[in-house]
Chain A
Amino acid sequence: MAKSFHLEVVTPDRSLLSEEVVSIVAPGVQGYLGVLANHAPLVTELGIGVLHIRYPDDTEEQVAIEGGFMEVAHNRVLILADAAERPQDIDIQRAREALLRARQRLNDPTVDRERARAALERAINRLRVAGVELGKVLEED
C-alpha cells in the first residue's frame, strides 16, 4: 500500500477539495511534475493544465487547473489555483463557445494575441478534462 498525503485545492471563491491522496501530477509552468508522499519541500507556479489525482482506493480524478501556485511541505500539498474545476462542474457549452470565439480572435490582427491564446488554452483544457473530443468541436464549427 503506497503512502498517502494530504492534498488541498483552493480557489479564490471556494475550497475545491481536501483529501488524502497517494499521488498527483500537477501542471507546473515548466512542465508536469509528479508528487508522491515524502516529497521534498517545494513551491512552484502552475500553468493551465490538468491535475491528475490518485486516491488510496486506486480511483483517479482529473481537475482542470488555470494557473496558480503549489506548495509541498510536511506531506501536505496546497494548490492555490486561479480557477479549478472538476469534470462534472464544467459547462461544456460555454467552454465550446469560448474555444470557437478564441479561435476567431486569434485570426483577428487587432486583438491582444496573448490574451486570445490564453483563452484558447483554457477552453481546450476544460474540454479535455470534461472528456470532449476537440476534433468534433472543430468539425461542428
Chain B
Amino acid sequence: MATLRQIRQRIRIARNIQQITRAMKMIAAARLKRAQDRVMAARPYSEKMQTLIGTLALASGSVEHPLLQVREQVRHIGVLLITADRGLCGSYNTNIIRRCMEFVQQYEQDQIRLLTVGKKGMQFMTRRGYPSVQHYTVPMSGPTVAHAQEIARAAQEMFLSEQVDEFYVVFSRFRSALVQIPTVQRLLPIEPIAMEDGRVEHLEFIFEPSSEELLRRLLPRYVFNMVYQALLESTASEHGARMTAMSSATDNAGKMISTLTLNLNRARQAAITKEILEVVSGAEALKESM
C-alpha cells in the first residue's frame, strides 16, 4: 500500500491537473459561444446563396462555366483537410482524420493533392505519405474572410489550371457541443442544386445582367462561401469538442481526488490504529515483566 506521503502527492497532482482542465474548459466554453454565434449567423447567407444559384441554374438551362465543368477523366484530386492546431479536444482530430483517410484511400496515393488547415491534420497526413502541398494557419479565435478568400482562390486556381480535376473539403460540421459530424463535401466542380421542392417554380424572372452573366459572378463567391462556412463550422466543432473533453477530464479528476482522499484517510486511520496497538502492547509487555 502507498505511503501517506505518496497518496498526498497524488492528490496534489490530480488537483493541479483538474485546475488546468477546468481553466481549459472555461476558455473553450467562451470561445464556443462566440464560434457558435458566428456559424449560426453565417448559415442564412449560405442557404440563400444556394437557393439563388438553383434559381439561376434553372433559368439559364445548361450553363457553360469552367467552375461547373465536370471532367470525364479524374486524374488528380484536391483535398482540403481542416483540423485543429492543438490536441486535448477529445476525438475531434482523430475523427476527421479517419474520415479523410477513408476518403483518400479510394484513390491512388499520387492522385491526391492535399491542402491543410490545422497542424494536427498536416502532421498526421505527412507521416502517412500525404504531404501537404499548402498549409494555412487559422488562429484559434476563428477564420476571417481573408483566410477563406486565400484558400478559395488557391482551390479555384488548382482546379482551373487542371492541377486537380475535383476538389473536396474534409471538415467537421457543427451540430452541438456534443455532436460534430466529420463531412466530406465536393467543392469543385460545383453541382448546381436542383430545386425540386417547388418553391422556385418557373417564375418569369428579369435578369440584370443575363442569368449566365449573373451565375458567372456568383459562382466564385459560392466557392468562397463554402470554404468560409467550412472553416466556421470547424472552429465551432473544435471548441465544442474541447469543452466536452475538458469537462469530462475535470469530472474524472474530481472522482480520482475523492477516491484518493478516501484511501488517504483509510491509510491514516490504519497508521493511528497501528500506533495505538504498539503503545498498548508495549505497555502490556512492561506490565508483565514487572
A residues in contact (CB < 8 Å) with B: 8, 10-15, 28-30, 40-45, 69, 71, 73, 78, 80, 82
Contact = CB atoms under 8 A, between A and B. Distances in A.
Interface string B43-58: 0110011001001100
A43 B56 contact: yes
27 contacts: A10-B48, A11-B45, A12-B42, A13-B38, A13-B41, A15-B41, A29-B209, A30-B208, A30-B209, A41-B203, A41-B204, A41-B206, A42-B206, A42-B207, A43-B52, A43-B55, A43-B56, A43-B207, A43-B214, A44-B214, A69-B214, A69-B217, A71-B55, A73-B203, A80-B45, A80-B49, A82-B221
B205 A42 contact: yes
B208 A42 contact: yes
A43 B208 contact: yes
B45 A12 contact: yes
A73 B214 CA distance: 17
B159 interface: no
A11 B221 CA distance: 12
A43 B205 contact: yes
- Chain A contact residues, majority secondary structure: strand
The 8 A-B pairs at the shortest CB distance, nearest first, are namely A14-B41, A44-B208, A41-B203, A42-B206, A41-B205, A10-B45, A15-B44, A10-B44
A12 B228 contact: yes
B2 interface: no
A33 to B, nearest CB: 8
- Chain B contact residues, majority secondary structure: helix
Kindly name the residue among A29, A30, A42, A69 whose own CB sees the greatest number of chain B CB atoms within 10 A: A69
Interface residues of B, number: 26
Contact of A69 (B38, B41, B205, B218): B218
B225 A12 contact: yes
Kindly name the residue among B44, B204, B218 whose own CB sees the greatest number of chain A CB atoms within 10 A: B44
B45 A43 contact: no
B96 to A, nearest CB: 23
Contacts of B48: 8, 10, 78, 80
Contacts of A14: 41-42
Nearest to B206: A42
B93 interface: no
Interface in B221-267: 221, 224-225, 228
A137 B52 CA distance: 39
A82 B148 CA distance: 13
Contacts of B204: 40-41
Contacts of A15: 41, 44-45
B172 interface: no
A73 B208 contact: no
Contacts of A43: 52, 55-56, 205-208, 211, 214
Contacts of A80: 45, 48-49, 52
Nearest to A11: B45
A14 B55 CA distance: 22
B52 A13 contact: no
Interface string B196-208: 0000000111111
Contacts of A30: 208-209
A56 B211 CA distance: 32
Contacts of B45: 10-13, 15, 80
Contact of B205 (A10, A12, A29, A73): A73
A8 B45 CA distance: 11
A12 to B, nearest CB: 5
Contacts of A29: 208-209
Contacts of B211: 43
